Amino acid sequence: MIKKRIKYGCGCAVLMVLVIGSLHIIKSKIEIKSVIDQTESASLNPVVYQTVVCLDAGHGGDDVGAEYNGRYEKDDDLTITLAVKKELESLGVEVILTRSQDISMDNAPRAEYANLYDAAVLVSIHRNYYEGYEAVNGIEAWINSQFLQEDELLAAAILEVIEEAVPKSTIRGVKGGTMDGEGNYTINRVAQMPSCILELGFISSDYDNTLLDTYFSDYAAAIAQGIYTYIQTFCT
């Protein structure tokens, strides 16, 4: 499916969408809300005239993601995401989360949630895994295979700040499509705004795990700063 963009940059086209498709939106909202963390969504207000960043903590609930020596990816994903949210909020950015607790969610509703709230960007936070090769390490970002400039700039901005903040990190770069070379990851396929999946190091690498634990706040601040730089440059 071709990735469609409702808008380029971050201008607000949502008012028109709300008027024309109000019934559809209300229906979608109800459907999506049923799978969104209630605690989080209950306090959300779609402030459509401001820049909203949607963060997605990968996996959750029964889906633990990758696992290495008792360490679950879903936990790392959530902890990092919550820390990035805090950093972005300290910069004055409104943040919405697809999940703020350990709950199961499909991937499509995560991106649909970002679409519904007209988020300026969607960043999904994960950790990588390479079975049997602990030496494989580093941080990479996946974008839609169309390599739209906005997606690439968003992902590159995040990686650039991480590289500066934690120089010991291996930066593996921005990649398009999927690991197996077919199609796109659901998040990047469904999102109607610039999006990327950030793989914050390999959970199968002791080196990356030690870096993450040691420089946790630096990583969180760097991801937030990368997103902030992007929206400051392209969304204001």
Instruction: Name the site residues for Zn ion (rule: CB under 5 A).
Output: 58, 65, 126
Name the token pair of 118: 């007209």
Nearest distance from residue 65's CB to Zn ion, in Å?
4
Our CB check for Zn ion shows the closer of 58 and 60 to be 58
Our CB check for Zn ion shows the closer of 40 and 75 to be 75
Our CB check for Zn ion shows the closer of 142 and 234 to be 142
Long-range Cβ contacts of 210-214 (<8 Å, 24+ apart): 211/166, 211/168, 211/169, 212/76, 212/80
Question: Which helix or strand (DSSP H or E) is residue 22 part of?
Answer: helix 22-33
- Residue of minimal CB distance from Zn ion? 126
Q: Residue 57's beta-bridge partner residues?
A: 125
Instruction: Report the alpha-carbon distance of residue 228 to residue 230 in Å, rounded.
Output: 5
- Which one, of 111, 116, 162, lies nearest residue 140 by Cα? 162
Nearest distance from residue 185's CB to Zn ion, in Å?
9
Cβ neighbours around 164 below 10 Å, total: 13
Our CB check for Zn ion shows the closer of 186 and 232 to be 186
Instruction: Report the alpha-carbon distance of residue 15 to residue 19 in Å, rounded.
Output: 6
Our CB check for Zn ion shows the closer of 65 and 109 to be 65
Going from the C-alpha of 182 to that of each of 46, 79, 124, 144, 187, the distances in angstroms are: 34, 30, 19, 11, 14
Our CB check for Zn ion shows the closer of 190 and 235 to be 190
Nearest distance from residue 165's CB to Zn ion, in Å?
22
